Amino acid sequence: MFFEIIFLLLSWEIDHGAIDATIYSEKSTDLRGPISSFHGTAPSLTADSSRFQLTFSSGDSIFYTYSDIHDVHFVDPVPVAIVKGLVSVGGRGPEIITTRQGLLIAAPDDSGDIHTFLKATHQDNWAKGGIINELSGVAREAFVSLACNTDGDVYAVWLDLRADGHNKIAGAKSIDGGMSWSKNQIIYRSPDSTVCECCKPTVALNGAHVAVMFRNWIDGNRDLYVIQSFDGGARFGNATKLGKGSWKLNGCPMDGGNVLLDASGDVHTVWRRKGEVFECQTGKEEKLIGEGMHCIMAGQPETRVIAFMNKGQIYLRKQIGAITKLGEGERPALVISGQTALCAWEQNGNIAYRAIPN
């Protein structure tokens, strides 16, 4: 479906992305080194205690590279796999996380399947894992998000068309680092037939607590909702709308936001409504960050940082509230390890990245 409307949606996004910018404080004194870049699109980041890890796409190829967290310079990227029809537009693309076994990449193709690739710790080669969706062709919107807990469980969510051809939120669990996946579960169906068709759902996992955020479509409103499970994804409760405002929109903003779980089990979210970015905890009023789009969040409450795009520039806001311009581009990825945050983003066919002391 998205190939039929992608150009229309991208045109809408360009027209509405050029909003009147908030006058941000564009400090550069806390930035570590210049912007670096290499060719590619759709960056995704993860980290452990010693390395930043990055995957990205170029055509139908998936690449991987890493950097020491104390001296951020990525080594030459190496190929992971070729996925025929790999989708890497509009916030789609390969997704990477760190698992107890090593690294896991999930990659969607244009036929509606989500492939996985695994690299064990201290090994150089990537192995083919299982297909996440048990029914072929149901993930044609090509959005997938991953989360992992300290027990080694991995949870994946995606938009799923099975049974009725309408997009629903689906999920699956892996207990072996992504080599195999549980029976797929439909987590949520919109009472108005479909969730927002081109916004990426996101997932956070802490022990048996699973939190999934997605953009819904009810009565013409494209609002963000969270649905939670407290038994590892076996059962989910009712979906809860985030924030007090609503966004009635005859179209799709292609902007799903991001969700985190802290150690206390509180759900933290960041998302866009119209031309503004908000942060919000479930059950609480949303807080305006500023004008922008394509937002993402990383870290714990005391170290949390948020990156977003506005008028062709990437901005980062630390928990203390200072907002810094990182550089020109779109669709940031973000991760924190130790005292360093790393942001990567698309910039004219390249992956740009910058380290920020936190």
For each successive 10 residues of the chain (358 residues), what is the average pLDDT? 38 33 38 74 95 96 96 94 96 96 97 97 93 97 96 96 97 95 97 94 97 97 98 97 95 92 93 96 94 94 90 90 90 94 94 90
Number of domains in the chain: 1
Q: How far apart are alpha carbons 200 and 93 in whole angstroms?
A: 11
Q: Which has the closest alpha carbon to 297: 232, 217, 229, 211?
A: 211
Q: Tell me the two tokens of residue 187.
A: 């987590």
**106, 94 contact by CB (below 8 A):** yes
Range(s) of the domain holding residue 191:
2-357
**154, 148 contact by CB (below 8 A):** yes
**Residue 236, domain CATH:** 2.120.10.10
Q: Which has the closest alpha carbon to 157: 165, 145, 148, 147?
A: 145
Q: Which has the closest alpha carbon to 138: 173, 171, 105, 111?
A: 111
Q: How far apart are alpha carbons 210 and 286 in whole angstroms?
A: 21
Cα–Cα distances in Å, from 75 out to 53, 78, 86? 10, 9, 24
Q: pTM here?
A: 0.90
Question: Pairing relation of β-strands 51-58 and 61-68?
Answer: antiparallel
pLDDT score, position 5: 38
Q: Which residues of 219-257 are buried (b: 16+ CB within 10 A; e: fewer)?
A: eebbbbbbbbbeebbeebeebeebbeeebebeebbbbbb
pLDDT score, position 300: 83
Classify 228 as helix, strand or coil.
strand
